[in-house]
Amino acid sequence: MVTYAAPINDMMFLFEKLKDNPHYCELEKYKEVNSDLAKDILEQAAKITENLILPLAKVGDEIPATFENGAVRTPPGYKEAYKKFIEDGWVSLSCDPEYGGQGIPKTISAFFDEMLSSSSLSFKLYSELSIGAYNCILHHGTESIKKKFLPKIVKGIWSGTMCLTEPACGTDLGLLKTKAVEQPDGTFELSGQKIFITSGDHDLTENIIHLVLARTPDAPSGTKGISLFLVPKIQVKEDGSLGPRNGVSTNSIESKMGIKGSATCVLNFDGAIGYMIGPKNKGLGSMFTMMNLERIVVGIQGLGISEIAYQNALNYSKERKQGKTNNSKTKNLTKLLKKINFLKSQNEANLIIDHADIRRSILNMKSIIEGERALSFWLAQQTEVSLHHSDKKIKQEASDFVSLMTPVVKSLFTDMGMEITSDAMQIFGGYGYTKDQGIEQLYRDNRITPIYEGTNSIQSIDLVFRKLINKDRNVIGRYIKSIEEEIKKNKNHPQIKPLAEKLNYYLKTMINFTIWIEKNMKVSKDDVSAACNDYLKVLGLIALSYSWLKVLAVSYKEMNTNKKFFEDKIETANFFFKRVLPRIDAHYNSAISGTKYIMDFKFN
């Protein structure tokens, strides 16, 4: 079974030393959220994730959610854990105090999201969509809807879902067929079927609030004719108490490769009573309030699973002996120990952590994970500014950065999660392929993250065709400028200067890549489409490097306060700049080769 220790020290380092967004520090509502409070929350979060939730990961994989007699049952232990989870207020952590929440910023709640993802993604998904539904209703629901539904979602006694996908409608939501017919009392009756609905049905909460995309009979075709509706599993009376069962039923649940403890449902809506959320025919925009935040959270899922895979691979490499190392330092130590009879066998194998390729693999994981955590912390600050700052211009600028980085975080973190969990299995060797160790489960559980909430290919297309080619505000230009300023700040620091120059070199590559895309957008959109994934990876690696540069500046400045911790940061950053950042060359050179041998290829 895998083990896990929440990386509180690294999280607290970011919270205390990298709150470098002055506009975030201007937010009055978070003035009292200090380091002591943050540490207390993270320590309590570590206890519940390490002790209560982590054991559920293996249970949920071996005894998945089941569907019997029209009802979904969660794995053993989930009910008891969820009861403790909501009693301790974890669902309400980042919610508005007006509806019973604790009002904790995403600069802290994102760390908790990571811990939950590390301990058990299946368990996490039952509450995760509730927060997404909460955010959507908070921003687009009427006051009466908010007062009626949000307090119980915040408490965790009701949960939420989002229902988009249909059998003939995945990415292209313009094809959806679910109908919503208005009734004399202003409610709507919904009819249709939705598939792949995470936590669509279960036995953890007394009600489930579905957010459903559907069309009214007079709606225009395509995505312009989609509206959003709130459809409770059990109808809710005016006083907030539960009424009769609504016309929502579970048709089946999916048998999946991973996240088996999470119920992924096919839902039927047969004249189900619903309430319109937001303006008519503008439902997709309302739903994207939920989806965009959810995409960032999915990226953090990839980060969380990467962290636990890394921890277990590192621990195993310090215990497993195999082969003889070529490391001269290790050889000399071995000879010395033999002389004083600590090693009696002439053929004593070395720990695999002493082998250069194993060390490379583990440092690759570590440098990516810590860079991702720093980037997600930067993004959490931007998100809070985009939601709560009083200055509209500052708010918009932050929103633009969040929009730019959302597909990057979602895709890069989850793709890297596949690489890291695969490498962790490799370090375990044959044992990693067996179920006993739990490493192969991490690989399987993470495999959904590059797929759901919009596949990573869709994310890269969204980045290039919608976010990058934005002449109104030139978001990418402003982001590049902020990186250039950070490089300039470190140009006279003797230790950081070489790495800053390396980042500057690759930043110019990204600028050339951007110019290439803008040029080819006019002459060959196929070339651009085929380059989208590579561009996202390049921007992602630049973003991680930018984060590492910030970490380096702090590490050298604070060296005397915690020498071992900051030396570790500096060495890890050096590995990233020398071993990971150069991947940009391959992505760039591959992308600009064009599509002649792609689009002209004749498949038999």
Q: Compute the residue count for the chain.
A: 604
Report yes or no: 438 and 1 within 8 Å, Cβ to Cβ.
Answer: yes
> Tokens 């071992």, residue?
564
Return the axis-axis angle of helices 392-428 and 475-489, rounded to nearest 10°. Answer: 70
Rounded to a whole number, what is the largest CA-CA distance in the chain?
93
Q: Which of 348, 224, 214, 367 is nearest to 282 (CA)?
A: 224
> Tokens 């879902």, residue?
161
3-state secondary structure of 178: coil
Burial of 426 (0-12, 13-18, 19+ CB in 10 A): middle
Name the pairing type of β-strands 71-73 and 248-253: unpaired
Residues 6+ away with beta carbon under 8 Å from 407 = 295, 459, 460, 462, 463, 467, 536
> What beta strand segments (E) does 452-559 contain?
none
HEC profile of 94-105:
CCCHHHCCCCCC
CA 83 to the chain's CA centroid = 25
Active site residue 453: yes
Catalytic residue among 453, 484, 501, 571: 453
DSSP 240: S
- Angstrom distance (rounded) from CA 108 to CA 14: 10
Name the pairing type of β-strands 264-277 and 188-198: antiparallel
Q: Which amino acid is at 144?
A: S
- Angstrom distance (rounded) from CA 175 to CA 239: 37
Q: Which residues have a catalytic role annotated?
A: 453
